[in-house]
Amino acid sequence: MRIGVIGCGFWARFQIAGWRELGGVEIVGLCNRTREKAERLGREFGVAGVYEDAGEMIERERPDVVDVITDVGTHELFVRLAAERGVNVICQKPMAPTPETAEEMVAACRAAGVRLFVHENWRWQAPLRQIKAVLGSGVIGRPLRARVDFVTGFPVFANQPFLRELEQFILTDIGSHILDTARFLFGEATSLYCQTQRVHADIRGEDVASVIMRMGAAGTMVACNMAYAENALEHDRFPETYAFVEGERGSVELGPDYWVRTTTRGGTHAKRHPPPRYAWADPAYDVVQASIVACNADLLAGLRGERAAETTGEDNVRTVRLVFAAYASAARDEVVKLDAGAA
């Protein structure tokens, strides 16, 4: 599978390293508007094809798929550029700056006869896959109520100062991951209510948000809490996600250090589900960066026609709709009704 990469910023290094963990994959070209970045990455990974123009890279290298690892404002441009040349596309999250744009990207790829995937790796974290397995086993019965939390004191604005300038921050950034994870665990939302806050006085967007949804055939009440407030937290283990699910016959909890505890009348079973360790991954980001490999493996299987990949463009449109439904709810301070069956 010949892969061309568009965008050579911070995450591209880890994305490429994740691809190289899989067999039958070759990175044939790197494209970045600042050529020096592409050249640096090319030297690191032994990729000779370096370009400033994405169209030229596609024409010369003839990739089977392009992996778009750029900012959200350029996603539609590069997705359409690849589709017009008959090339499959993988796009980073957030998929698009509006639901309408996301839908147009899907339609453009469908019309061109190419496949569109979204690199939504959060749901591929090892401990979250275990929560899904417990729910699927039926051991705790029908899930009644759940909580999915990404609440951290990590100084994200010191690490990525450009985030201060975003008009919409936490719901589009981490919310794209957390709301997609909620969909993965519990199904589609039929209603949603959101409240947001801005704790940092020197940022433009929101840095705290809570979203409550009714989800899936079970009608599970799901609360998703997100915060980058830089406050002191006892159980802060950035970038871990925590979850707690109450069922008719028991509960399952994902807590600090990847511990999953399943409780029924028979007692509590506890086991750690840490992420796999890769030499190229930053140990502080293991749970996130290791999930890149699992996500890439699923996308590769989809590209090869071995099975349907989970995070297609069609699927991720639903996550984009949730993100912007949350903004609408917070702005109007009201419950938003959703069509769970909408494609």
How far is the C-alpha of 8 from the C-alpha of 295, rounded, in Å?
Answer: 19
How far is the C-alpha of 318 from the C-alpha of 342, rounded, in Å?
Answer: 8
The predicted pLDDT at position 172 comes to: 96
How far is the C-alpha of 176 from the C-alpha of 173, rounded, in Å?
Answer: 6
In contact, 2 and 63? CB cutoff 8 Å? yes
The 10s digit of each residue's pLDDT in 91-128 is 999 999 999 999 999 999 999 999 999 999 999 999 99
- Residue 21: how many CB atoms within 10 A of its CB? 16
Q: Smallest Cα–Cα separation from 25: which of 262, 272, 230, 297?
A: 297
How far is the C-alpha of 214 from the C-alpha of 153, rounded, in Å?
Answer: 28
The predicted pLDDT at position 343 comes to: 60
Helix (H, G, I), strand (E, B), or coil: what is residue 256? helix
pTM of this structure: 0.96
Domains of the chain listed by start with CATH number: 2-119 (3.40.50.720), 123-274+313-337 (3.30.360.10)
Q: Is 62 left (phi over 0), alpha (psi -120 to 50) or beta?
A: left
Walk along the chain (343 residues) in steps of 10 and give the mean pLDDT of each run. Answer: 96 96 97 96 97 98 98 96 98 97 98 98 98 98 98 90 93 97 98 97 97 97 97 92 98 98 98 97 93 98 97 98 98 95 68
Cα separation values, 2 from 26, 289, 304, Å: 5, 22, 12
Helix (H, G, I), strand (E, B), or coil: what is residue 284? helix
